[in-house]
């Protein structure tokens, strides 16, 4: 979790052992998104001072030795 101003960002970081295993971004499927969302809801419930903040979910993936960030991924 990171906060910048009125935005709270939950980030998921993924990497794979090689290109033969597919794209690391594909690992953040619907079930993984659901689990991250539930975890974020639980965390936010414990931090009511952030209730008025906008929430964003970003994914950072290692792709061919470089980092790619997808803001507002889901």
C-alpha–C-alpha distance, residues 51 and 72, integer Å? 18
Task: Give the model confidence (pLDDT) of 12-57 as tens digits.
Answer: 999 887 666 778 888 899 999 999 999 999 999 999 999 999 999 9
**Residue 19: predicted pLDDT:** 63
Q: When comparing pLDDT for 6 and 16, which is higher?
A: 6
Strand pairing category for 66-70 and 2-4: unpaired
Confidence of residue 63 (pLDDT cuts 50, 70, 90): confident
Q: Mean pLDDT across the stretch 62-66? A: 85
C-alpha 24/C-alpha 66 separation (Å) is 12
pLDDT of amino acid 18:
65
Spans of all domains in the chain:
2-70
Model's pTM, two decimal places? Answer: 0.84
- CATH class of this structure's domain 2-70: alpha beta
Q: How far apart are CA 74 and CA 72, in angstroms?
A: 5
Beta strands in 1-74 (DSSP E): 2-4, 7-14, 54-63, 66-70
């Amino acid at each position: 979790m990171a906060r910048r101003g009125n935005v709270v960002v939950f980030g998921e970081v993924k990497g794979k052992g090689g290109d033969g295993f597919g794209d690391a971004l594909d690992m953040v499927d619907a079930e993984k998104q659901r689990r991250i969302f539930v975890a974020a809801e639980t965390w936010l419930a414990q931090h009511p001072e952030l209730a008025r903040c906008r929430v964003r979910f970003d994914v950072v993936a290692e792709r061919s030795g470089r980092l790619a960030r997808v803001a507002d991924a889901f």
